[in-house]
């Protein structure tokens, strides 16, 4: 596991983007596993800049996202499909048919999860999987628990996550209570995992990367089992 400590958020974003840019240059039809949340926003802005500067094209890139809120359709301002369009897809030459986000409005959620897992498999999983981390150690919406589910599944959100994500909604009541999330098993199938952590709120949880333990109560710790992981955090998260 490689740990990179960047001076600040701007440097973290540039560093994270550089991994993706190098990958796309080397393999134009890369598969990217993408994350939402505040942390990767700067990285997406850097990727848009690289595209605008003619350094990379997303023409043949395929992407899939970690998760989506149940009950929100892709046009909802807080849906993760909307987030991805706004942060990246609308600004680059990607074919949106090659971008996958679970359908939070699917009538049959079980079938949607199975179908999503099949899509990941057909894409042979991500060349790079980008992850954020919750203050409680969740990745995707895999919340701390005694048992974790390996494939894509429906996950109830815990109070800490609802509270943390309420900043994007008018009120806490509007935050969906469930999501479709890739499971830990699907995440670990990526060829390279890059986890990003920024700011003092991540300080406490990042301490867990200083030891040689894993725990399902800190789902992110399971990435220690993966042979190719890069953690990029800024000084505030690393303190
Ligand atoms: P954040 O969310 O990037 O907005 O901090 C991370 C997460 O909850 O996974």
Is the pTM value of this prediction over 0.95?
Answer: yes
Pocket of ligand 1 (CB under 6 A): 37-39, 132-134, 138
**Ligand 1 atom nearest 131 alpha carbon:** 9
Ligand 1 pocket test, candidate residues 34, 132, 136, 232, most atoms within 8 A of CB? 132
Distance between CA 196 and CA 202 in Å, rounded? Answer: 10
Question: What confidence tens digit (pLDDT) does each residue in 2-39 have?
Answer: 999 999 999 999 999 999 999 999 999 999 999 999 99
Distance between CA 213 and CA 202 in Å, rounded? Answer: 18
What is the reported pLDDT for 35? 98
Distance between CA 75 and CA 47 in Å, rounded? Answer: 23
List, by residue number, the catalytic residues: 67, 136, 138, 143
What is the reported pLDDT for 124? 98
What is the reported pLDDT for 76? 96
What is the reported pLDDT for 107? 97
3-state secondary structure of 8: coil
**Ligand 1 atom nearest 202 alpha carbon:** 5
Residues 6+ apart with CB under 8 A from 171: none
Among residues 199, 196, 135, 139, the alpha carbon closest in space to that of 13 is found at 196
**Alpha carbon of 56 to ligand 1 centroid (Å):** 27
**Alpha carbon of 58 to ligand 1 centroid (Å):** 25
What is the reported pLDDT for 153? 98
Average pLDDT of the residues in 208-227 = 97
CB 236 within 8 A of CB 199: yes
Among residues 123, 111, 105, 186, the alpha carbon closest in space to that of 152 is found at 186
What is the reported pLDDT for 22? 98
Helix (H) or strand (E) holding 130: strand 128-131
What is the reported pLDDT for 37? 96
What is the reported pLDDT for 181? 98
CB 51 within 8 A of CB 57: yes
Distance between CA 39 and CA 92 in Å, rounded? Answer: 20
Question: What confidence tens digit (pLDDT) does each residue in 85-135 have?
Answer: 999 999 999 999 999 999 999 999 999 999 999 999 999 999 999 999 999
Residues 6+ apart with CB under 8 A from 190: 33, 125, 126, 127, 128, 129, 226
Question: What confidence tens digit (pLDDT) does each residue in 226-238 have?
Answer: 999 999 999 999 9
**Alpha carbon of 166 to ligand 1 centroid (Å):** 12
Ligand 1 pocket test, candidate residues 12, 38, 78, 158, most atoms within 8 A of CB? 38
> pLDDT class for 197, splitting at 50, 70, 90?
very high
Distance between CA 129 and CA 192 in Å, rounded? Answer: 6
> pLDDT class for 66, splitting at 50, 70, 90?
very high
**Alpha carbon of 132 to ligand 1 centroid (Å):** 5
CATH topology of domain 28-36+61-125+134-191: Rossmann fold (3.40.50)
Burial status of residue 26 (CB atoms within 10 A of its CB: 0-12, 13-18, 19 or more): exposed
3-state secondary structure of 138: coil
> pLDDT class for 177, splitting at 50, 70, 90?
very high
Distance between CA 43 and CA 25 in Å, rounded? Answer: 17
**Ligand 1 atom nearest 161 alpha carbon:** 8
Question: What is the rounded average pLDDT for all residues in the chain?
Answer: 97
Distance between CA 171 and CA 209 in Å, rounded? Answer: 33
């Amino acid at each position: 596991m490689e740990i990179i400590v960047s001076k600040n958020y701007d440097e973290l974003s540039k560093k994270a983007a550089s991994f993706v840019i190098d990958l796309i240059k080397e393999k134009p039809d890369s598969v990217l596993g993408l994350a939402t949340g505040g942390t990767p926003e700067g990285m997406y802005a850097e990727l848009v800049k690289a595209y605008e500067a003619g350094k990379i094209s997303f023409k043949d890139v395929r992407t899939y996202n970690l998760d989506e809120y149940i009950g929100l359709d892709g046009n909802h301002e807080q849906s993760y499909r909307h987030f991805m369009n706004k942060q990246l897809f609308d600004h680059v030459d990607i074919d949106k048919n090659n971008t996958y986000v679970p359908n939070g409005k699917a009538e049959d959620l079980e079938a949607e999860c199975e179908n999503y897992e099949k899509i990941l498999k057909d894409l042979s999983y991500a060349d790079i999987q980008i992850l954020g981390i919750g203050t409680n150690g969740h990745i995707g919406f895999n919340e701390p628990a005694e048992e974790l589910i390996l494939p894509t599944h429906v996950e109830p959100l815990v109070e800490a996550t609802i509270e943390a994500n309420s900043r994007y909604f008018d009120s806490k009541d509007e935050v969906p209570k469930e999501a479709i999330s890739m499971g830990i098993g699907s995440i670990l199938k990526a060829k390279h995992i890059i986890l990003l952590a920024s700011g003092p709120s991540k300080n406490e949880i990042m301490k867990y990367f200083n030891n040689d333990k894993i725990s399902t109560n800190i789902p992110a710790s399971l990435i220690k089992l993966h042979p190719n992981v890069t953690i990029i955090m800024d000084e505030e998260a690393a303190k």
